[in-house]
Amino acid sequence: MIRLYIGLLLVSFSWGTSFTAVKVGLKVLSITELVLLRIFLSAILFVVILFFLRNSINIKIAKNDLKLVTWLAFCGIASYFPIQTYAINNTITLHTALIMALSPIFAAIMTIVAGKEQITFGRVLGIFIAFSGVVTIIVSAGSSENNLQSYPNMLIGDLILLLNALTWAHFTIMGKGLMEKYHPFVVIGYIFIVGAVMLVPYGIVFNHFQPLYLSKIFFNGWQLPGIILYLGGFCAVYSYFMWYKGVQTLGAVNTSVFMYINPLFATIAGIVVLGEELTIYNIIGGILVIIGVYIVNCKQTASR
């Protein structure tokens, strides 16, 4: 069990620091190049791993479920990562981690609207507190002169991240049935593979019809290849595998607690690696977001 906890802690570390890794990668690569490299690498790794797992688990998905897999690939990969990468490039890492932490809130709202969950005072309170935190973060985007000089379009980046968090919530809800029907790692593998195929036209158009020169990633030695491997391998394949192993062993609620650690790692990485400035508004907003998400999760658990 201790190994599992350590593994989940590493997942929080990988997802929290991935935003900083993206920023470092964008110093050399364009948004399109970075997205294509990390997703193509993830897809290749999933293909290889699923090939070796074919005798131990069922890696086939029924034809009638492929339509949903395709939609999830579009929502969770083909549109999700280009939008997120653009947003990350225009705001600080802490904002990225905290705003993305709103995904459970959006998921709760969607289930309430769909009539699958009841509206309770606790959930409304949690949603209000979390959104108050995000409003605090976004409104105070220009409170740090250092951050504002580095990211003049910070407000735009933060608002785009709200859309990203909403997309991830939809992705999570729509994929729940598939996760219960098939092995979660198989579902995620298919989604990444189909998503990578979908990104080919995106790469052709937004990369100005230029080929993806792999030699470019070795321009600054091994730093950039390390970042691509970190994002495509550790943050995707390993982290998804370990996350769903945690869900199967500890349950979704107990595993989700580790998501609250992501902003901590994001903050440390942003300050140490990128020299980002932490403001009192970031701290207050972050605390409100985490408290709000925690309350909503607790109320959802108590009602089941």
HSE, CB side, 13 Å, CA atoms: give it for residue 218: 3
HSE, CB side, 13 Å, CA atoms: give it for residue 224: 17
What is the predicted pLDDT for the residue at 192?
95
Identify residue 142 by its one-letter amino acid code.
G
Token match 């109320």: residue? 299
Least confident range from 11-25, 79-93, 145-159: namely 145-159
What is the predicted pLDDT for the residue at 268?
87
Query: Quick one: what percent of the chain has pLDDT higher than 70?
Result: 85
How many Å apart are CA 65 and CA 151, to the nearest integer?
Answer: 42
Q: Which two tokens stand for residue 259?
A: 């998501």
Percent helix, strand, coil in the chain, to 5, is 80, 0, 20
Write out pLDDT tens, residues 151-180. 778 888 888 998 988 888 888 788 878 878
Q: Does residue 209 register a pLDDT over 50?
A: no
Per-residue pLDDT band at 240 (split at 50, 70, 90): confident
Task: Please tell me which of 258-262, 263-267, 297-301 the model is most confident about, judged by mean pLDDT.
Answer: 263-267
Per-residue pLDDT band at 214 (split at 50, 70, 90): low
How many Å apart are CA 145 and CA 277, to the nearest integer?
Answer: 9
Identify residue 101 by its one-letter amino acid code.
A
Average pLDDT over every residue of 267-292 = 83
- Start-to-end CA distance of the chain, whole Å, equals 25
Task: Please tell me which of 69-78, 104-113, 152-161 the model is most confident about, judged by mean pLDDT.
Answer: 69-78
How many Å apart are CA 28 and CA 115, to the nearest integer?
Answer: 47
Least confident range from 101-115, 250-264, 271-285: namely 250-264
What is the predicted pLDDT for the residue at 213?
56
Q: Chain-centre distance of CA 137, in angstroms?
A: 19
- DSSP secondary structure letter of residue 182: S
Write out pLDDT tens, residues 28-54. 888 988 999 999 999 999 999 999 988
Mean pLDDT of the chain: 82
Q: Does residue 129 register a pLDDT over 60?
A: yes
What is the predicted pLDDT for the residue at 221?
64
Q: Does residue 218 register a pLDDT over 70?
A: no
Which of 151, 39, 43 is CA-nearest to residue 94? 151
Token match 């140490």: residue? 272
The three-state secondary structure class of 29 is: coil
Q: Does residue 145 register a pLDDT over 70?
A: no
Task: Please tell me which of 120-124, 219-223, 237-241, 257-261 the model is most confident about, judged by mean pLDDT.
Answer: 237-241
What is the predicted pLDDT for the residue at 73?
94
How many Å apart are CA 64 and CA 248, to the nearest integer?
Answer: 25
* pTM, two decimal places: 0.82
3-state secondary structure string across 230-280: HHHHHHHHHHHHHHHHHHHHHCHHHHHHHHHHHHHHHHHHHHHHHCCCCCH
What is the predicted pLDDT for the residue at 44?
95
What is the predicted pLDDT for the residue at 4?
87
Residues 6 or more apart in contact with residue 106 via CB below 8 angstroms: 165, 166, 168, 169, 170
What is the predicted pLDDT for the residue at 67?
94
